[in-house]
Structure 1
């Protein structure tokens, strides 16, 4: 597993050494921490919400002191794991072109198969943490829409509000999977807004 272990900075000219926590970060150092977080998520040390929150803080961090708390509670090695194992997502943990393509398919397949497409992607490429996250997102979104569609004839007799809500959901269903697919194709971790995770990823706990 990757370990965040930056080189101590040299003392500035004519002054006292600056504490490492106050040194500015480089892109390579942010990428190093991002890789640690991705591996921790893949190993089950972080759940999906924790991973997304820490990754966002990593990408916006400016000083070393902001990164250290994000990895301080993560184990540097996986018990029983294989030493030197290669991360699934390729160099520096970025999703590969193939993974981005599968994630794109997980989202847009919902247009003609609802939850079946994301489920098939999950079964086919669930060993990739990136594809797995996106497939679970797409699967849960399609399940929510399917449940709303099935229950609408029942609930609309009770109140007019469910029909109004469903109209907004239907409009979202037209656009959101496409937006999600584009985001995934660009390597971004998309999360559908206001979508309850009916099926949770057991590896993320």
Structure 2
């Protein structure tokens, strides 16, 4: 007798395709939500909708949410520093870092990996 075939959802990381999709959505939803200048809303929605059903999705959503809130703080401080001209450079740096790290997080988590953002203030656990 042969053993039953593992379900379609098996992946080398042990995550279902749905978990990998929502884990990636926790990161790329920030890119979508940034169009209304509230990038933290995407990860927050993923955390509230799918976080309770999957520890992986919750970890990714919390990581992304913390990063988005941290970048919001950094951008606000940079905007205030525009008054002393150094803020223009800081705003550009914060914007590039936000874009690059958010894309990296999206790709890594969609592949089923863990992604930890640098420069993150841990506010949500």
User: Fold-level match, TM-score > 0.5?
Assistant: yes
Deviating above 4 A after TM superposition, structure 1's stretches of 4 or more consecutive aligned residues are 90-93
1:107 aligns with 2:27: yes
Deviations 1:94-116 (A, max 9, x none): 22110110011110010121000
Q: 103, 109, 113: which one pairs with 1:178?
A: 103
Q: Which runs of 5+ in 1 are unaligned?
A: 1-89
How far residue 91 of structure 1 moved from its aligned partner, in angstroms, is 8.6
Q: Deviations over 1:66-106 (max 9, x none)?
A: xxxxxxxxxxxxxxxxxxxxxxxx79972211011001111
Backbone CA RMSD of aligned residues? 2.2
Q: Distance in 2 between matches of 1:151 and 1:174?
A: 18
Counterpart Cα distance in 2 of 1:125 and 1:190: 18
Deviations 1:133-180 (A, max 9, x none): 1001111111122222333332232462x4433322211222221211
Report the count of equivalent residues.
Answer: 110
Matches of 2:74 and 2:13 in 1, distance apart?
37
- Name stretches of at least 5 consecutive residues in structure 2 with no aligned partner: 1-9, 34-38
Higher relative contact order (CA 8 A, sep 6+): 2
